[in-house]
Chains A and B, each alone.
Chain A
């Protein structure tokens, strides 16, 4: 099976060199990670779409354009280095959001009003 294929070399991508010894890519640090936020059209919020690696902010924005807006999904891009994102702790969600649990009167449906009352 193998020899049959060896002749299929078109040269569009390198396939002439043998696979290098193991560990050839080790000890190379990744570029920093960035979170990407995109505004899909005017009037809408920027929304988190994913993350990517880039050496600096400008490269992050350009990469975000290529990775996340190939089909005109955005008109504005924000990037922020992931290490600067602070997040609430999901393990504490129960107590953290507790203050809102017993305040149904914050919703309009809480109030008993006659059906005849219009436009409210």
Chain B
């Protein structure tokens, strides 16, 4: 394509985005937009799928039938979220097999939070409250993202997420009103999940060079730091209902800013976990690869069965 023509197309594309007209799969889009979206949506999908592992870990040991049923339902929802998102990414021209392969070979990333272990039952509560809470904070603005299939997937996901956060908070609330040991367990889980949760919003704005372009394309609607601040403000209030504390001595209401100030994030830890050195990175990928490989015969058998049946239904040629 001639250069001038491309510039015109790009201008038309940006005009549509500026007017909040959604971009759909068959529409022209800049190659960089397509690539950025594939990366963002597939990472998001991988996070939903890998995110099932730390919680799945506690399904057999949930303390009651009620807790077990809700935890199964939540984990099943996360599988659904992964599937909505994989489908959305596929509309951009990448195959499911390719995405799965990128995850299994470590080429694709997923949210670093899922590389932390779930040591006690209270962790399931803390994940629901903080991890799903941070995810919701990230995802609600994405319901208005510029790419149609992504936005529609996010609408469905957001509808389902709110029970996730509420069931988590309920678990912590119950523990916070329990025995001394239960209270201690509750506080310990909050202590371990707080910092990784606020890292979920990604690097600080001055360390995320692509934010400006993504905001211009409306595949991101707020900056990392804006969302993080919003999340801190909300959690600093909610934790009072639990009678617990967030593990940050510098957390303090700043009347001038109208926000909570909070301590420095350990970005060194964040980059370590992202680059594969978190507590559970290897276990998580190993679990995914194992599930995929052990399911191979099922996938093959289903295809053979479908082919055989199709053959039988085809009218015999004379």
Contacts and interface: CB of A to CB of B under 8 A. Distances in A.
A43 interface: no
Interface in A48-92: 50-53, 55-56, 59, 66-67, 70-71, 87, 89-91
A108 B251 CA distance: 62
A16 B105 CA distance: 18
Contacts of A55: 299, 302-303, 305-306
A115 interface: no
Contacts of B76: 66, 70
Interface string B254-285: 00000000000000000010000111101101
B236 interface: no
B316 interface: no
A99 interface: no
A18 B286 contact: yes
Contacts of A90: 24, 26-27
Interface in A6-54: 8, 10, 12-20, 22-26, 28-31, 33, 50-53
A50 B302 contact: no
Nearest to B310: A56
Contact of A2 (B27, B279, B296): B279
A5 interface: yes
A15 B115 CA distance: 13
Given A13-B53, A28-B97, A70 B299 contact: no
Given A14-B291, A15-B283, A52 B306 contact: no
Given A1-B278, A14-B291, A22-B105, A70 B302 contact: no
A52 B310 CA distance: 20
Contacts of B100: 25
Contact of B279 (A4, A12, A25, A29): A4
B87 A52 contact: yes
Contacts, number: 112
Contacts of B87: 50-52
Contacts of B61: 10
Interface residues on A, range: 35 or more
A91 B286 contact: no
Contact of A56 (B58, B80, B292, B309): B309
Contact of A87 (B26, B101, B160, B306): B26
Contacts of A52: 83, 87
B289 A31 contact: no
A1 B277 contact: yes
B77 A14 contact: no
A51 B56 contact: no
A72 to B, nearest CB: 13
B28 A51 contact: no
A18 B299 CA distance: 23
A103 to B, nearest CB: 23
B101 A17 contact: no
Contacts of B278: 1
B279 A5 contact: yes
A51 B28 CA distance: 22
B302 A91 contact: no
Given A24-B293, A25-B101, 10 more contacts: A8-B119, A12-B57, A13-B53, A13-B56, A13-B57, A13-B287, A26-B97, A29-B97, A56-B305, A71-B160
